[in-house]
Chains A and B, each alone.
Chain A
Amino acid sequence: GNSVTQMEGPVTLSEEAFLTINCTYTATGYPSLFWYVQYPGEGLQLLLKATKADDKGSNKGFEATYRKETTSFHLEKGSVQVSDSAVYFCALSAPPFFYKLSFGAGTTVTVRA
């Protein structure tokens, strides 16, 4: 079956530090990959996505590259801000059930001023 493994948190950083959250996956076929972000007390928002190998998704300074050879989709940001404090989820959807998302456990990130 499909599954996503992401690094355990919590992660605590200082402002302007570099952030990386590892995500690896197991899937049948060629999945699409997503990073969602959840701010405290809210639902999930799509942060970025990639639909084929070597695609790079990017948004709000975050980036992730779809690496088929290592089955990975690591999230990175070069300089975090306090407002980036949130829970980050890696997720995938794979054929034939594209409408079903499989989520990682989530990584809590706290950025201190």
Chain B
Amino acid sequence: DGGITQSPKYLFRKEGQNVTLSCEQNLNHDAMYWYRQDPGQGLRLIYYSQIVNDFQKGDIAEGYSVSREKKESFPLTVTSAQKNPTAFYLCASTPRGDGDGGRIHEQYFGPGTRLTVT
């Protein structure tokens, strides 16, 4: 079955440690995204990548880093510089990253990783 996998589902870390969240897709999609979800705030875009070896900051990139070395993988590192890292993190993908001439593409979401930092 095609889809997006995120692992692990729950992650616990001590303050001051970096942690990497995994996101893998087998949909052959060009573009991938990371969102952060906090209660009552909807989803906020952290980073996105329209194509392999390229990525851009979203609205709340401070304290996070990403890489896109392979089309199917887009790992997110939550660094110790992120002041409030405890949240639910969602990865998503779309077939194209360039808007495809104005054609709208649905974003496909993974099941999410809940990160708790104490």
The chain A residues found within 8 Å of chain B, CB to CB, are: 4, 32, 34, 36, 41-46, 49, 51, 89, 93, 95-101, 103-106
Contact = CB atoms under 8 A, between A and B. Distances in A.
Contacts of B45: 100-101
B111 A99 contact: no
Given A43-B109, A44-B43, A46-B107, 9 more contacts: A43-B90, A43-B111, A44-B92, A44-B109, A89-B43, A99-B98, A100-B58, A101-B43, A103-B42
A93 B42 contact: no
Contacts of B94: 99
Contacts, number: 62
B31 interface: yes
Q: Kindly state the interface size class of chain B when it binds its partner.
A: 20 to 34
A65 to B, nearest CB: 17
Contacts of B2: none
A99 B50 contact: yes
A44 B106 CA distance: 11
Given A32-B104, A106-B40, A97 B112 contact: no
A45 B107 contact: no
